[in-house]
């Protein structure tokens, strides 16, 4: 069932608490934001609530202050950036709870940004008393922080029983729409592309996607654990030897669903400008750092026929050109396919952006860990706690 959305609520004259994801990267010293994409991602929900005549309380964590105030993890730079983006003042609270904050309750059209939720240890402990204090600040609760939806914290789960009304924000709506469509009722053929370093990081994702997709394209270092499980030479490529039996079992269960690289770009050692060659089998003393051209051709042929594509993880050491060629080629193929494409956050997003095709992807998730858990079929606490329509 779809969740109740902010669009389903009457917000006029209400004080709306929006849990946003302003966990932005800061330069050393904590004064300068180096990327404001997470702030920009929240703007549609913020603007919608303002247009409906609400007063807004925005709340987020930033970094890992471990339950203590830390000026280097203050949200003050976010208030300044938000003021610029919205073209209206954003007041900064001295804390996220307490009498001083309660006195700053915003009226219609006003915005108050609370200080870092994780300055209080009770946030991550999902403490009921702390949840009640946060809930007392507002009339309506909205969760728009998909990136924190896999956390069972006071601001993502604990507040909801103590507020009059709760709903998802527009960004949360979009995340759930695309991820649910891709994993529950995809247009077929449905193809998943999985890369990255470790099979162990993606066991649940592989197992869940095997039930959903028609073909699963494996790349990155995790491919070498599967290849070694098949008895193929992998040289000194990164392998999880303790996961070989699991890899054998997954391959046996998958039938023809899992596709593995046909050739490899290999080096003696991983460094900038290292000489490389393309081989069908990785020789002793060499390590695989990217998929080769035959693999790119085979994978792109599968991608071209797809109607739905799910991607999580690069195909090689893409941050060290020229070992980004496989990842970039697949990103361009996904963009050209015309399929509904859903890309996980983190390295997958960086890879898509480095290929220059981010604007041709249907949906790039804002939540790395949350999207991984969703793809693994794990219920996200922050989503489960929201009421259904």
346 is catalytic: yes
Pair of tokens at residue 250:
């997954």
Largest separation between any pair of C-alpha atoms in the chain: 70
User: Which structure tokens are listed for 102?
Assistant: 């309660």
Question: Using H for helix, E for strand and C for coil, what is the string for 75-141?
Answer: CHHHHHHHHHHHCCCCEECCCCCCHHHHHCCCCCCCEEECCCHHHCHHHHCCCHHHHHHHHCCCCEE
38 is catalytic: yes
Catalytic position from the list 30, 368, 369, 377: 369
Residue 61 phi, psi dihedral angles, 5° rounding: -100, 170
For the record, the structure tokens of 117 come out as: 């939720």
Could you say which of 38, 81, 202, 243 is catalytic? 38
> Which two three-digit tokens encode residue 337?
């396919």
Bridge partner list, 218: 194
φ, ψ for residue 252, nearest 5 deg? -65, -40
Sequence-distant (6+) residues with CB within 8 A of 60 are 19, 20, 21, 22, 23, 75, 78, 114, 116, 117, 145
Contact of 224 with 238, CB cutoff 8 Å:
yes
CA–CA separation, 195 and 299 (whole Å): 13
Catalytic residue, from 198, 232, 350, 360: name it. Answer: 198
Please pick, among 219, 346, 367, 382, the residue that the annotation labels catalytic. Answer: 346
Active site (annotated) includes residue 198: yes
Helix (H) or strand (E) holding 295: helix 293-305
The C-alpha atoms of residue 75 and residue 95 are separated, in whole angstroms, by 10
Sign for the CA dihedral angle at 211, 184, 143, 51 comes to positive
Contact between 373 and 202 (Cβ < 8 Å): no
Active site residue 202: no
Given a contact cutoff of 8 angstroms between Cβ atoms, the answer to whether 188 and 308 are in contact is yes
Q: Going along the chain, which residue ranges are E strands?
A: 15-19, 55-59, 91-92, 111-113, 140-143, 165-168, 190-194, 215-218, 258-259, 264-267, 276-279, 287-291, 308-312, 340-343, 363-364
Active site residues: 38, 198, 346, 369
């Amino acid at each position: 069932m779809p969740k109740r959305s902010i669009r389903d609520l009457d917000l006029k004259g209400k004080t709306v608490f929006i849990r946003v994801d302003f966990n932005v990267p800061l330069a050393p010293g904590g004064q300068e934001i180096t990327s404001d994409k997470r702030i920009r991602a929240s703007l549609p929900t913020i603007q919608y609530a303002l247009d409906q005549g609400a007063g807004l309380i925005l709340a987020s964590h930033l970094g890992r202050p471990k339950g203590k105030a830390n000026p280097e993890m203050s949200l003050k730079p976010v208030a300044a950036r938000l003021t610029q983006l919205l073209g209206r003042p954003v007041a900064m609270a001295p804390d996220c709870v307490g009498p001083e904050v309660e006195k700053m309750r915003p009226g219609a059209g006003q915005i108050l940004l609370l200080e870092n939720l994780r300055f209080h240890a009770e946030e991550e402990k999902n403490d009921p008393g702390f949840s009640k204090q946060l809930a007392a600040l507002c009339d309506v609760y909205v969760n728009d922080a998909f990136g924190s939806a896999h956390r069972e914290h006071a601001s993502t789960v604990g507040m909801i029983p103590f507020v009059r009304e709760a709903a998802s924000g527009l960004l949360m709506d979009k995340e759930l729409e695309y991820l649910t469509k891709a994993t529950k009722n995809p247009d077929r053929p449905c193809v998943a592309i999985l890369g990255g370093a470790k099979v162990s990081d993606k066991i649940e994702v592989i197992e869940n996607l095997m039930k959903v997709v028609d073909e699963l394209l494996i790349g990155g270092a995790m491919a070498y654990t599967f290849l070694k499980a098949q008895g193929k030479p992998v040289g000194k490529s990164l392998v999880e030897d303790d996961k070989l039996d699991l890899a054998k079992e997954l391959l046996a269960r998958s039938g023809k669903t899992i596709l593995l690289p046909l050739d490899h770009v290999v080096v003696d050692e991983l460094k900038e400008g290292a000489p490389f060659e393309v081989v069908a089998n990785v020789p002793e003393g060499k390590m695989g750092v990217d998929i080769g051209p035959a693999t790119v051709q085979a994978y792109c042929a599968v991608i071209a026929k797809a109607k739905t594509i799910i991607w999580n993880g690069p195909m090689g050491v893409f941050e060290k050109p020229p070992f980004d060629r496989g990842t970039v080629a697949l990103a361009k193929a996904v963009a050209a396919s015309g399929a509904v494409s859903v890309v996980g956050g983190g390295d997958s997003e960086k890879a898509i952006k480095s290929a220059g095709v981010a604007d041709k992807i249907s949906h790039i998730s804002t939540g790395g860990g949350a999207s991984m858990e969703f793809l693994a079929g794990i219920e996200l606490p922050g989503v489960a706690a929201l009421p259904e329509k």
